[in-house]
Structure 1
Amino acid sequence: MAKKSRAASFVAWLPQAALLGLARALPVRPRLALASWLTRTVVTAVPSLRARVEGNLRLIFPDMDAAERRRVRDGMADSFGRTMIEVMTRRDFQRRHDWTSPTGPGWEALRAARAAGKGAFLVSGHFGQWEAVRAALMAEGIEAGAMIRPVKNPYLDRDYLACVEAGGKPVVGRDGGGLRELIRHVRDGGVMAVLLDQYTKRGVEIDFLGQPAPSGTMIADLARKYDLPMIPVYGTRAPDGLRVIVEFEAAIPPGTAEEMTQAAANSLATRVRATPEQYFWLHRRWVKTF
Structure 2
Amino acid sequence: MSGVRTATRPYSWAYVPLRWLLLALAHLPLPLLYVVADGVYLLLAYVVPYRKRVVVENLRNSFPKKPEAEIQRICKAFYRHFSQVVVEIVRLPAMPRAELKQRMVLLNPEVADRHFAEGRTVLGLASHAGNWEWVLAAGPLWLAAPIDGVYKPLSNPFFEEFMRFVRSRTGAGLVPMSQVMREMVAHRGEAHLLSLVSDQAAGPEDRPYWTQFLNQDAGFYTSTERLATRFQCAVLSVSIRRRRRGYYEFEFTELYDGTSPLPPTEAPIMEAFARRLEKDIQAAPEQYLWTHRRWKHKR
Measure how far apart 1:219 and its partner are. Answer: 1.4
Q: Which runs of 5+ in 2 are unaligned?
A: 1-10
Distance 1:220 1:146, change over 3 A: same
Measure how far apart 1:117 and its partner are. Answer: 1.0
Distance 1:19 1:282, change over 3 A: farther
Aligned to 1:271: 280
Distance 1:161 1:32 in 2: 24
Amino acid corresponding to residue 73 of structure 1 in structure 2:
C
Specify which of 90, 94, 112 is matched with residue 114 of structure 2: 112
Q: Specify the SS of the correspondent of 2:88.
A: helix
Give the alignment of 1:36-47 within 5 angstroms: 37-38=39-40, 41-47=43-49
Distance 1:192 1:212 in 2: 27
Distance 1:100 1:146, change over 3 A: closer
Aligned to 2:191: 189
Residue 162 in 1 paired to residue 165 in 2? yes
Task: Point out the more displaced range, 123-132 or 149-158.
Answer: 149-158
TM-score (norm 2): 0.80
Aligned to 1:211: 216
8 A contact 2:89–2:134 mirrored in 1: no
Distance 2:266 2:154 in 1: 29
Q: Specify the SS of the correspondent of 2:106.
A: coil
> Aligned residue pairs: how many?
277
Q: Deviations over 1:153-177 (max 9, x none)?
A: 32122111111112443212222x2
Measure how far apart 1:282 and its partner are. Answer: 0.7
Distance 2:41 2:234 in 1: 36
Give the alignment of 1:201-280 within 5 angstroms: 201-202=203-204, 203-239=208-244, 241-252=245-256, 254-255=262-263, 258-280=267-289
Distance 2:145 2:41 in 1: 32
Distance 2:180 2:48 in 1: 34
Q: Which runs of 5+ in 1 are unaligned?
A: 1-5
Measure how far apart 1:134 and its partner are. Answer: 3.5
Q: Specify the SS of the correspondent of 1:283.
A: coil
Identical pairs, percent: 23
Q: Deviations over 1:86-134 (max 9, x none)?
A: 3442441533123364224xx4331111111111011121011234433
Residue 139 in 1 paired to residue 141 in 2? yes
Task: Point out the more displaced range, 29-38 or 250-259.
Answer: 250-259
Distance 1:284 1:220, change over 3 A: same
8 A contact 2:26–2:94 mirrored in 1: no
Distance 1:153 1:135, change over 3 A: closer
Distance 1:71 1:14 in 2: 40
8 A contact 1:182–1:192 mirrored in 2: no
Q: Deviations over 1:52-83 (max 9, x none)?
A: 10111111112333433333223323333333
Measure how far apart 1:227 and its partner are. Answer: 1.4
The structure where helix makes up a greater share of residues is: 1
Aligned to 1:3: none
Distance 1:259 1:111 in 2: 23
Task: Point out the more displaced range, 36-45 or 205-214.
Answer: 36-45
Measure how far apart 1:238 and its partner are. Answer: 1.2
